[in-house]
Amino acid sequence: MGWIRHSAGRHPQLGPLETRLLGMLSQRRDATVRELLSSAQVDAAYTTVMTTLDRLYKKGFLDRSLDAVSRAFRYRLKQGERHLYRAVLGNDLHHLLQTAADPSLPVSFLVDAVTEHDPALLEDLRRAVERKRQQLRRRKKP
């Protein structure tokens, strides 16, 4: 619970790369810097990823151990994904609700964001429906 206390107390600000790396580590049990880079999901230099992981470790989000084969640090989430979101989002949401004049406003925007559909996907599906409609029309014509 150390890092949860830490995050609740000091309200850690996570950058885009930090969030991305935490997300990648939540999808796998553990990983070294090289393994994260080889997955091609992150576009950054080796030293940048190494420094960022080290910072996350110092912030208390990650655990690390020395890999016997590669002699590099192997990082893993200190707590599960659920705890990670609770610590990061819970703190931010609490701050948001505390500072809002009308607390229902951020909540309604949150519901909108969660239930909104991806416009690009809807457009793809709409095109597929139109293609199918044209196929049907062609088939009906003698």
Partner 1 sequence: MSYLLRGALLSSAAFFLAYVFLSLGVAGAWPLLRKRAAAWSASLLYGLRALPPAGALLFVAGFVVPAFLCLEPQGTDERFGIPGIALASAGLLMVAWGTVSALLASWQTARFVASCPKTGLRRLEGSAGACAVEVVSAKPLFVVAGIHRPKLLISQQAVRLLDENEMRVAVRHELAHARFRDNLKKLALRAARFPFLSGLERSWMQAAELEADDAAAVDACGALDLASALLKIAGASSPAPLPHLAMSLVPGTQPALQARVQRLLAWQPRLPSPPRRGRALLFFFFAVLALTAGYAPLLRHVHELGELLVR
Nearer to partner 1, 47 or 104 (CB): 104
* 132 belongs to the binding site for partner 1 (CB under 8 A): yes
Which range, of 33-41, 56-64, 91-99, 118-126, touches partner 1 by CB under 8 A? 118-126
* 116 belongs to the binding site for partner 1 (CB under 8 A): yes
Q: Nearest approach, Cβ of 128 to partner 1 (angstroms)?
A: 6
Nearer to partner 1, 38 or 108 (CB): 108
Q: Looking at the DSSP assignment, which residues form a beta bridge with residue 75? A: 31, 64
3, 11 contact by CB (below 8 A): no
* 126 belongs to the binding site for partner 1 (CB under 8 A): yes
DSSP 17-69: HHHHHHHHHHHSS-B-HHHHHHTT---S-HHHHHHHHHHHHHHTSEEEEE-TT
How many Å apart are CA 27 and CA 23, to the nearest integer? 7
Give residues in contact with partner 1 (CB under 8 A).
111-112, 115-119, 121-122, 125-126, 128-129, 132-133, 136
